[in-house]
């Protein structure tokens, strides 16, 4: 996708094997999951609507993020990947959006609409964010860029983790829809929607993957330069 070559990381590998595979990778992509991050990892009790955790996935993702931050490799998180990134950076999650918002059902945005609804709601993107730079700016003077997105989640980021900032929120209810790293020289971006489902006919989705792959190429050159100078 966008010129990148994927390398799958099996969840049954040992930590040493995972890190060996990571030596071949210039960036990491954390995709979605039907599981939820274990609330114990962010010091909360499990609530009634919270799905079971995938402990193997959590362990591997934690190793990938540890390596990405150590080696300054680009990170792209999608849906669950955003939540995992935020928890890894000591943030917390909203365990079930309808409970968190406490609104009548008729007033709730259907964040878990899934594939049956192509575009579920709109998101407002901070105009000074990396995400806005990737997707493109709105009319001059506007502080936000608004785009429609799909939606397949019932959780979201709550308290934002260290070194991250909010870059997009749901237009209708303010739920966090994207976060990114604060360091301009380390590509870290995570979105709560699924751009991979819309790349064929949605330019913002394609732009996200193009930026990620370009960041991976730049990372490869930078890491190669470090090793050449040793």
What tokens were used for 174? 């303010």
23 belongs to the catalytic site: no
**Of 96, 111, 186, 194, catalytic:** 194
Look at the block and give the residue holding tokens 């060996």. 20
The encoded tokens of residue 126 equal 């901070």
Tell me whether residue 194 is one of the annotated catalytic residues: yes
79 is an active site residue: yes
Catalytic residue among 25, 79, 170, 177: 79
Of 177, 182, 180, which is closest to residue 211 (Cα–Cα)?
180
Distance CA(14)–CA(26), nearest Å, equals 20
147 forms beta bridges with 123
Collapsing DSSP to helix, strand or coil, 141 comes out as: coil
Helix (H) or strand (E) holding 39: none
Q: Do residues 16 and 67 touch, judged by C-beta distance below 8 A?
A: no
- 3-state SS, residue 76: strand
Q: Which residues are catalytic?
A: 79, 194, 196
């Amino acid at each position: 996708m966008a010129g990148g070559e994927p390398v799958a990381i099996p969840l049954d590998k040992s930590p040493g094997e995972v890190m060996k595979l990571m030596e071949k990778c210039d960036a990491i992509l954390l995709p979605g999951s039907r599981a939820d991050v274990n609330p114990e990892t962010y010091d909360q009790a499990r609530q009634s609507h919270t799905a079971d955790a995938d402990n193997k996935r959590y362990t591997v993702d934690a190793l990938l993020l540890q390596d990405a931050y150590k080696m300054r490799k680009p990170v792209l998180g999608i849906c669950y990947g955003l939540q995992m990134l935020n928890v890894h950076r000591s943030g917390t999650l909203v365990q079930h959006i309808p409970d968190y918002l406490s609104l009548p059902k008729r007033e709730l945005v259907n964040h878990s609409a899934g594939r049956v609804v192509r575009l579920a709601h709109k998101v407002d993107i901070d105009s000074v964010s990396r995400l806005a730079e990737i997707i493109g700016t709105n009319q001059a003077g506007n502080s936000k860029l608004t785009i429609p997105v799909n939606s397949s989640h019932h959780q979201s980021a709550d308290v934002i983790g260290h070194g991250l900032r909010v870059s997009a929120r749901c237009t209708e209810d303010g739920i966090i829809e994207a976060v990114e790293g604060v360091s301009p020289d380390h590509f870290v971006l995570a979105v709560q929607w699924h751009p991979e489902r819309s790349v064929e006919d949605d330019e913002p989705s394609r732009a996200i993957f193009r930026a990620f792959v370009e960041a991976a190429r730049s990372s490869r050159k930078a890491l190669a330069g470090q090793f050449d100078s040793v």
